[in-house]
């Protein structure tokens, strides 16, 4: 009996650990920090590409991909909310 209880306690602890891991992953995916880092990386990479291509104003031109990504991110958030309310 004690062996069975010990096994069940171990299984519960493993389930809690998986749940915590899932929750932290989910929190990271929707965090503003993650989005800001993606925006910054997109901008930096765009600047480098535009510099390599010989653009006359790579720092201003690099805002376009970032703005497009930001707009798509906001649109996806709205689409997700609509989907959850209407189809899920």
Residue-wise pLDDT tens digits, 14-44: 999 999 999 999 999 889 899 899 999 999 9
User: What spatial distance separates the first Cα and last Cα of the chain, rounded to whole Å?
Assistant: 43
Give dist(CA 4, CA 83) in Å, integer.
Answer: 43
Question: C-alpha angle with apex 37: 83 to 44, nearest 5 degrees?
Answer: 120
Give dist(CA 18, CA 23) in Å, integer.
Answer: 9
At residue 46, the pLDDT reads 95
Which DSSP symbol is given to 53? T
At residue 23, the pLDDT reads 93
Residue-wise pLDDT tens digits, 32-86: 899 899 999 999 999 999 999 999 999 999 999 999 988 888 888 889 889 989 9
Contact 47, 58 (CB under 8 A): yes
């Amino acid at each position: 009996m004690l062996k069975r209880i010990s096994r069940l306690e171990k299984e519960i602890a493993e389930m809690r650990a998986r749940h915590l891991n899932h929750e932290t992953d989910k929190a990271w995916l929707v965090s503003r920090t993650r989005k800001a880092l993606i925006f910054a990386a997109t901008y930096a990479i765009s600047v480098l590409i535009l510099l390599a291509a010989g653009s006359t104003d790579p720092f201003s031109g690099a805002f376009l991909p970032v703005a497009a990504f930001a707009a798509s991110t906001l649109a996806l958030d709205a689409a997700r909310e609509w989907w959850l309310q209407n189809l899920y």
